């Protein structure tokens, strides 16, 4: 076995998530009960993939699972878009909110936020989404 084990980029993107907290939330909300295929860890990896690759729909995400690399990273060999839709509907927003707040707390800790807060402005989150606008109504919105 190599002494140099490299994480893939995908594993590095997933690594800031507090897996202990996530597991506690999964148990609290009973998100893995009656689940045969798509456990929360795999589903979160699929959501991360969808976000990073700007996947447009659940159908496109289910098609992307045919990639060998994605199958290795998520542990999911195939999944239908309807299964993804049913799964996402079972997850309460509290789950995602808690994970998000934990990530923000990690950012604060790594950037000495409390010290810098007195000097600079607070952390701001920027959404880089692009919204297509009708050019006949919004001539200024040419992209």
Mean pLDDT in order along the chain per 10 residues (143 residues): 58 84 89 82 88 89 87 84 89 92 88 67 72 73 62
Instruction: Tell me what pLDDT residue 4 has.
Output: 46
* CB 77 within 8 Å of CB 67: no
**pLDDT at position 97, please?**
93
Task: Record the pTM.
Answer: 0.68
What are the structural domain ranges in the chain? 9-141
């Amino acid at each position: 076995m190599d002494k140099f084990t490299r994480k893939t980029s995908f594993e590095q993107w997933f690594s800031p998530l507090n897996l202990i907290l996530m597991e506690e939330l999964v148990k609290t909300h009973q998100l893995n009960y009656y689940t045969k295929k798509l456990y929360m860890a795999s589903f979160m990896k699929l959501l991360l993939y969808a976000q990073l690759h700007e996947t447009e729909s659940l159908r496109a995400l289910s098609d992307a699972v045919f990639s060998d690399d994605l199958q290795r990273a998520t542990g999911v060999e195939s999944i239908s878009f309807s299964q993804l839709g049913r799964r996402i509907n079972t997850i309460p927003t509290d789950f995602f909110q808690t994970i998000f707040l934990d990530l923000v707390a990690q950012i604060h800790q790594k950037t000495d936020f409390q010290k810098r807060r007195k000097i600079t402005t607070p952390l701001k989150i920027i959404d880089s989404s692009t919204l297509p606008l009708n050019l006949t109504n919004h001539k200024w919105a040419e992209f």
